[in-house]
Structure 1
Amino acid sequence: MEIDSLDWIKSFKSISEKKMEKFARYGIMTLTVTNLKRILADPSYTLSDDGVLENMCRSRFYADLFVRHFICYLDSVVEETQDRETGRLRSRTEHFDLRRRNLGMVPSMDFVCIQFHLSDDMIDQEVIQRMTITTTDLIGIANDIYSYNVEQAGGQKCVVCNLVDVVLRERGRGVQDAMDIIEKMYRDLFLSLVDDYNNFPTFKDAEQDRVLKEYALGMLD
């Protein structure tokens, strides 16, 4: 099942081979409904080929965390849909508030958290929270830059829910000016992410430090 599913995803050629390898590494495609139902009914049930989702369902903490984050993501998608239907134009602050939720980054990171066995306290570390927000903003900015021309080419006079449009409305100096501003914004955010990693604090014990450092490194990858 996993091989067939991964081959199907690869057939769309939507992501590079390198990124596909990372996607496959987390075992996201190993989930089967039968396994999931069994594990939810009996957390002690084990399999020889457990994947990340099976492990997540076995842990009440991670299951609740994922459901909470995924519901937040679904609610944000509804918000974006309403914005597009009504033509609501958000400020820069409002745009980032929505973008951090509708990218699906937070529930996606839950798959990674379980691989590192991160506890609630570890996830809530100030520097981890800050790096997570910064990483999400970087992904959102890149996504908006890539999608701006696509949406504009589709005949939209005003590209709602896109940072390029937000900056254009703020400054009124054309697309290139907006791109220059966004480029600086992206560079500053990336440098702050690197700075957080280079000055990563130490915590309770060596093993916790090692795990958190590896997790933080993944955000830079």
Structure 2
Amino acid sequence: MKTLTRCAVDIIALGNDIYSFNVEQARGDGSHNIITVVMMELKLDLHEALEWVGHYHRERKLEFLRAVKELPMWSSEIDRQVAQYVNGIGNWVRANDCWSFESGQYFGQDGLRVQETRMAPKVV
């Protein structure tokens, strides 16, 4: 359960930093974004940092899915509660992803197009 929670938090935080980077760097507020941190700490360019963070994000998703498969069985009542928790934490991750594209916060009116194409216009 701890692994599921940790992975969900990581997935949300990493996704948020990926989606918000363009807007944050355009307004001079990107120093706390994981993309900027990776660029500085690992001496990578933007493309390389995005690849690094994207890989780390994918690894956390795979770890989450493995942890779900490895959950033990208890009693039917406990198993029902665990399934409800896992479903809820998965919905939390998905809801944050949807909000990032649908709210207009990071991509304005282009959010659904960006979600589909994974290509965001450069903000200057």
The two structures have a TM-score, normalised by structure 2, of 0.68
Q: Higher relative contact order at CA 8 Å, sep ≥6: structure 1 or structure 2?
A: 2
Partner of 1:178: 49
Residues matched between the structures, number: 91
Amino acid at match of 2:59: D
1:141 lines up with 2:11 in the alignment: no
Match of 1:208 among 54, 73, 78: 78
Q: 1:198, CA displacement in angstroms?
A: 1.3
- Residue 138 of structure 1 contacts residue 190 of structure 1 at CA under 8 Å; is this kept in 2? yes
Listed as ranges, the gaps of 5+ residues in structure 2 are 92-124
Q: What are the residue-to-residue correspondences of 1:115-126 with 2, within 5 Å?
A: none
Equivalent pair of 1:164/1:178 in contact (CA under 8 Å) = yes
The residue matched to 2:72 in structure 1 has which SS?
Answer: coil
Structure 1 counterpart of 2:45, which letter?
G
Deviation at residue 213 of structure 1 after TM alignment: 1.6
Q: Which runs of 5+ in 1 are unaligned?
A: 1-127
* Partner residue in 1 for 2:62: 191
The 2-side partners of 1:219 and 1:143 are apart by 16
Write out the 4+ residue segments of structure 1 that deviate beyond 6 Å after TM superposition. none
Q: Is the 8 A contact 1:193 1:220 kept in 2?
A: no
> What's the TM-score, normalizing by structure 1?
0.39
Deviation for aligned residue 1:217: 2.4
Cα RMSD, aligned residues only: 1.3
| Residue deviations 1:172-205 (CA, integer Å, cap 9, x gap) | 22100000001110111001101111121123x2
Q: Tell me, in whole angstroms, the C-alpha distance in 2 between the residues paired with 1:171 and 1:153.
A: 22
Secondary structure (helix, strand or coil) at the match of 2:44 reads coil
Paired-residue identity, %: 30
1:127-149 per-position Cα deviation (integer Å, ceiling 9, x unaligned): x1221111011000011111111
Could you tell me how far apart the structure 1 residues matched to 2:2 and 2:62 are?
A: 16
Show the counterpart of 2:28. Answer: 155
Separation in 2, partners of 1:139, 1:173: 23
- How far residue 220 of structure 1 moved from its aligned partner, in angstroms, is 2.4
Q: Which amino acid aligns with 2:18?
A: I
Shift, 1:161, TM fit: 1.7
AA partner of residue 193 (structure 1): F
